[in-house]
Structure 1
Amino acid sequence: MNRIKGLRKLSVLKADPISGESLDRLENEALYYKEYWNLEFEIRGVQEPFILIIAIQGEVLNQNYADQDTIIMETKRMFGKFIVKANIHVRAIINIPSPPSIVNSEWLTESMLDAGILMSELQAATGIDKKTLQDWISDRIPMNRPVKAMFYYYLLYREKLRD
């Protein structure tokens, strides 16, 4: 399965041994967090009675990000079900969405209207053909990160020019 990097390091625990079945159940729990918060876990170190776990949150499409305290609490809760006697330390690395991640077709349409930007102006400024721009604006083609960044920073630039 290998949903938790370094999981086999737990096999050295003598005061709180963990069975193969429990390891499998722990990995299944990790799958829930991967799907819900895009959390990945890595066991960095085991030196009884201490365990160091790194919890890293990746980008979440639904923007449902957990804060650092929540990630630490949930990681301790998840591992604590199976490792009772150890002192679990968690380092949480949270995902801070980049400003362009807010860009979608609705945001783009609204921002263009607010700024008074016409499609022809956007076409001239970006050098992108009208059909492709229309496809992005109407959600017929999904915008990737570079495209979102282009629109975000272009509109930010236009806003700064107005001020």
Structure 2
Amino acid sequence: MEIIRNLDKLSDVLTPDAIVRVQNEASNYLKQDNLFFTVLSYEQEGLTVKVEQDRPLTEKIYTFDELVFIAKDLFGRYIINEVFAHPHPYVESPAEVVNGKWVQLHMNHYEIRLKNVAFQTGIDKTNLSAWINEKRPMSRIVKAMFFNFFKVYAINDLVTNLSGEYKGYYYIKKYFGIELVERLVSLTKHKDVVITESGEDIKIFIP
């Protein structure tokens, strides 16, 4: 596994000792914070590096500016020319909100019974119950499965209200995506729908 991707592009610039040291420092960032570095180019204007954070191993999530600082600091000690950083901060999946209580809340909201979830997902009730009652931890795949399962219900509910004669306020959780809501509204007959964010919800006014 390459500690720094495309580091060979700097083989004519860095001494063997500098290559070892910069790789050791990058390795520490990888182990502690899941940071990855990629050398994009080295030209007369300077060095261009991509720095990205994958799912953090700890609670530390670096900001855009922090990633820029880290890249400039790491390579700036060994490169005379300017260091240009292309930061890619970690963006948490919306499915990370899912836990047993979250699933129970949505089952109650959409009046869905466990046997319905089992039938539609093809997963037996024993496993579903263990996850929902938090007797077994949910993997990222399981969280994504539950999230998208209820996202379909949320979308169907919204489309039903937009397609019918419903008038007034309708709420949908923000983690289901305001872009999706805007796209769905644009496909309906309603032209004066007002979409705003309100706390954890997307508030939709259908006149």
Q: Is the 8 A contact 1:2 1:27 kept in 2?
A: no
2:143 to 137, 145, 148: 148
CA RMSD of aligned residues (A): 2.8
Give 1:57's aligned amino acid.
Q
Moved more, 73-82 or 61-70: 61-70
* Percent identical residues: 27
Distance in 2, Cα, partners of 1:110 & 1:32: 41
In the superposition, the TM-score normalised over structure 1's length comes to: 0.75
After superposition, the C-alpha distances for 1:22-70 in whole angstroms (9 at most, x for unaligned) are 2112111111221233221111211235111111222235564322221
Gapped regions of structure 2 (runs ≥ 5): 159-169, 171-207
Partner of 2:16: 20
In the superposition, the TM-score normalised over structure 2's length comes to: 0.62
Q: Is the 8 A contact 2:50 2:85 kept in 1?
A: yes
2:37 counterpart of 1:3: no
Whichever structure has more strand as a proportion of its residues is: 2
Greater relative contact order (CA < 8 Å, ≥ 6 in sequence):
1
Residues 36 and 57 (structure 1), Cα distance of their counterparts in 2 relative to 1, 3 Å cut: same
Paired residues, number? 157
Q: Is the 8 A contact 2:35 2:54 kept in 1?
A: yes
Residues 63 and 22 (structure 1), Cα distance of their counterparts in 2 relative to 1, 3 Å cut: same
Gapped regions of structure 1 (runs ≥ 5): none
Partner of 1:119: 114
After superposition, the C-alpha distances for 1:111-158 in whole angstroms (9 at most, x for unaligned) are 54666654344334433211111233325254242x322211233344
* Rg larger in structure: 2
Q: Is the 8 A contact 2:32 2:57 kept in 1?
A: no
